[in-house]
Structure 1
Amino acid sequence: MSEAVADPAGSRHPDRAARLAAIARRWGSRPPPMAWDALLPTLLLVDAVTARAPHEPPLTVALTAALALPLLWRRRFPLTVFGLVAAAAFVQWLADVQLPADIAVLVALYTVAARVGRRGTLLACAVVEAGVLLACLRWAGEGAFPTLFVAVTAMVVAAAVLGVNARTTRAYLAAVRERAARREREQDQEARLAVAGERARITREMHDIVTHNLSVMVALTDAAVYAQHRSPGRATAAMLQVSETGRQALTDMRRSLGVLRTDEPDADRHPPPGIAQLGTLADQMRAAGLPTSLDVRGGHAHLPATAQLTVYRLVQEALTNTLRHTPTGTRARVRIRCSTASVTVDVTDNGPRSAAAGPPSGHGIPGMRERSAGYGGTLLAGPLPGGGWGVSTRLVLDGGGGA
């Protein structure tokens, strides 16, 4: 019986086993190409061929090939390769042949632990431990069984632990990549939503600007045509008001579209309109033929610019609808109530609208509802019990979003 045992881990070649184990650890992080996988079997076969003494049978080379060659496919078929290597090791034990190529058993076990689940790893460890027990019983020297068995078992456990760590690291890196990809998709979606929101905001602004100013310009032009023969002075004043309204519309459009251009200075020179500009708006509506009264109560200097713009656009759209959908002689009334927590907006008119007429068509009312909802308000628009039309909402300032 041999005093020095060639255990399945290749204990007679500790340096070679350490180098091969280091190679196996490096392989665990990322699968190398097939040519790199062939390195270990090639080294084992070359060692078997060159180390065989002339009187030794070729069985050692055949067993080495049976242990090493299946490792070429260990990444694609880890359990199958482990079964083939374990079977070759059992044939080696039956033939009572000691080989350095038994390191292939540890490599196959490592691959199973790195690529298969817990059950497969435990099964492979049990098979290897059974082989270790048989090898130590046959080849351990007298009194060396406990030490040898513990040492080889430690190598088996180390191979299994390294494989499990490689599998855990691979799963963690895959999860990190998935999270990064998901975050990238979320950021892209957030960017798309932001773009869509900005487009909706610009659409609302352009609708309010164009609809209001064109309606005023049409009304002023009709008045100028009507008065050009009877009162040339009033016609001239009306056309001057048309010109001023057109210039104001261009300024508002440049300001609204200024966010799309970095070289647009008008957006900085002309701040967005607010509650302070409602007086000018009322004068404009009076010039267009809609007598408008304005009642603003409460301080509004503390209100955010976006909230004031929302109030202005709500009043502007409501008065524009009155101008467009009511006959001459209709009167409008605007009431604004400001407090530290909210702003109440009420716009009414006495135009002859019936309940069957329904709300004005187009995007005006939906746009007003969107603006009001941006500050937690619910817009009410419809016929009044005593006749006329009313628009009412309450904007919440504490925690409200910008429109």
Structure 2
Amino acid sequence: MTEAAAEPGSAHRGRAWPTVGLARHADSVSARVVRLVRRGVSRLPSVVWDLLPATLLLLHVVTTYPLREMPVALALTAALALPLVWRRRAPLAVFGVVAGAAFVQWLLDVQLPADIALLVALYTVAANSGRRGTLLAGAVVAVGGLLACLRWATDGAFLAPFVAVTAMVVAAAVLGVNVRTTRAYLAALEERAERLEQEQEQQARVAVAEERTRITREMHDIVTHNLSVMVALTDAAVYAQHRAPDKATTAMLQISETGRQALTDMRRSLGVLHADEPDAARHPLPGIAQLEALVDQMCAAGLPTRLEVHGGHAHIPATAQLTVYRLVQEALTNTLKHTRPGTQAEVRVRCSTETVTVDVTDNGSRLPRPGATPPGHGITGMRERAAAYGGTLRAGPLPGGGWGVHTRLLLGSSGAASA
């Protein structure tokens, strides 16, 4: 009995499941249809939406007005509603046409639902014109509402309809002004976003150009100096390989060390090494403390050089010390490349709390340069480095013979960061 009794219930439940499934399928289809309708409606042009109220108002006249009153009502309704199709293109002109049609309607003593077109035209003027046009249109509609209440108010009840009409006029004008203000605010935000994006792109381009200039300057200093030293050491090794093999071996070892140092400097300048890598710790950025090693390198390359450093340099930023090192390196490299054998050089660095003065002089005469050889970028790069710290660079022959380079770096210069 229990199983038999359970069977009808089971059969009932079995018949209920298809019904639930059909209901869910119907809901899904309905939701899909609604989405399609919304998508289609959103794609309709604005002209269709402007024609729809006019069509409805004309249908209202056809279905409700007597035949003898229909021609006048249709003509006035068309004059009031159809111009709204062009309200976005010429809001003031359309408002004038609608207001004129409403005045003719008032003169003919015909009441129409199409008077709502005045509020739509007022809203369009407020949303697309300035304050003066909005005030003028609002005043015209307010006067029209006053005339309509005076003529068509029933049983002397003038105040209530006039207040209602005035409230609708104010609401239409305020709504239009809010739309215009919001539109202007969004346009300003969009313009500001575009301007900020352009400024960011410009700053990025400037940063890239500055980085390229810095890398070019670093590569010039590193390659020119180290290749000049390696060439000088190679010439010395070739000359001493038969007469003094020990000196030739020492020169070759110095060439190898110079090449490795050049590779390390190039990788660091190109940003390949990171601060947490061992090579970066073993080879920090060169500064004033490394000038002594630079001078020893130049002496080994055949340019006797004397170094004098006056004042402490612990307080000088690393970028400023790198600038001093590169200035001295470039000046000594030029001396090594462009002077006759036997030239001697002298480096003097004076450090204070606010400035660093660098003087590099030599007593050699310059080798003649072929006329077809283009001038190098060494002096230009040195001037750029000095200008980054608010300093100027003087380079030229000395009165008693030789060549001198003088510059003074201002440690408080704002351009220091780019050095």
Q: TM-score range by the shorter chain?
A: 0.7 to 0.9
Deviations 1:266-291 (A, max 9, x none): 45653211111111100000000000
Which residues of 2 match residues 231-246 of structure 1 at below 5 A? 231-246=244-259
Which residues of 2 match residues 6-155 of structure 1 at below 5 A? 33-52=46-65, 56-155=69-168
Unaligned runs of 5+ residues in structure 1 are 1-30
Q: Which amino acid aligns with 2:200?
A: Q
* Aligned-residue offset at 1:332: 0.7
Counterpart-to-counterpart distance in 2, 1:345 and 1:51: 101
Are 2:350 and 2:358, in contact at CA under 8 Å, matched by a contact in 1?
yes
Structure 1 counterpart SS, 2:314:
coil
Aligned to 1:191: 204
Deviations 1:75-104 (A, max 9, x none): 112122212211221221122111122111
* Aligned-residue offset at 1:127: 2.5
Q: Which amino acid aligns with 2:88?
A: R
Deviations 1:96-148 (A, max 9, x none): 11112211101101101111123322332233233223222321235433443
Counterpart-to-counterpart distance in 2, 1:299 and 1:376: 21
Are 2:267 and 2:273, in contact at CA under 8 Å, matched by a contact in 1?
no
Structure 2 counterpart SS, 1:258:
coil
**Which of 259, 271, 280 is the matching residue for 1:258?**
271
* Aligned-residue offset at 1:218: 0.9
Greater fraction of residues in helix: 2
Q: Which amino acid aligns with 2:231?
A: V
Counterpart-to-counterpart distance in 2, 1:140 and 1:331: 113
Which residues of 2 match residues 372-391 of structure 1 at below 5 A? 372-391=386-405
Q: Does 1:200 align with 2:222?
A: no
Identity of aligned residues (%): 76
Q: Which amino acid aligns with 2:84?
A: L
Structure 2 counterpart SS, 1:334:
strand
Give the direction of change, closer, same or farther, for the CA distance of 1:89–1:366 in structure 2 (3 Å limit): same
Counterpart-to-counterpart distance in 2, 1:112 and 1:179: 27
Deviates more, 1:186-195 or 1:143-152: 143-152
Structure 1 counterpart SS, 2:242:
coil
Q: Which amino acid aligns with 1:205?
A: E
TM-score (norm 1): 0.85
Q: Does 1:370 align with 2:412?
A: no
Deviations 1:317-341 (A, max 9, x none): 0100111111111111111111222
Aligned to 1:25: none
Are 1:258 and 1:264, in contact at CA under 8 Å, matched by a contact in 2?
no
Deviations 1:350-396 (A, max 9, x none): 11249x99xx9311011011111111111111111222111111111
Q: Does 1:337 align with 2:350?
A: yes
Q: Which amino acid aligns with 1:379?
A: L
RMSD over aligned Cα, in angstroms?
Answer: 2.7
Counterpart-to-counterpart distance in 1, 2:207 and 2:161: 68
Are 2:383 and 2:393, in contact at CA under 8 Å, matched by a contact in 1?
yes
Are 1:342 and 1:396, in contact at CA under 8 Å, matched by a contact in 2?
yes
Counterpart-to-counterpart distance in 2, 1:56 and 1:298: 108
- Paired residues in the alignment total 371
Give the direction of change, closer, same or farther, for the CA distance of 1:189–1:262 in structure 2 (3 Å limit): farther
Deviates more, 1:82-91 or 1:170-179: 82-91
Deviations 1:22-55 (A, max 9, x none): xxxxxxxxx9733333343344334434443567
Deviations 1:252-275 (A, max 9, x none): 111111259999874565321111
Counterpart-to-counterpart distance in 2, 1:268 and 1:79: 75
**Which of 354, 362, 366 is the matching residue for 1:349?**
362
Counterpart-to-counterpart distance in 2, 1:347 and 1:390: 6
Aligned to 1:392: 406
Kindly indicate whether structure 1 or structure 2 has the higher relative contact order, using CA contacts under 8 Å at least 6 residues apart.
Answer: 1
Counterpart-to-counterpart distance in 2, 1:319 and 1:362: 15
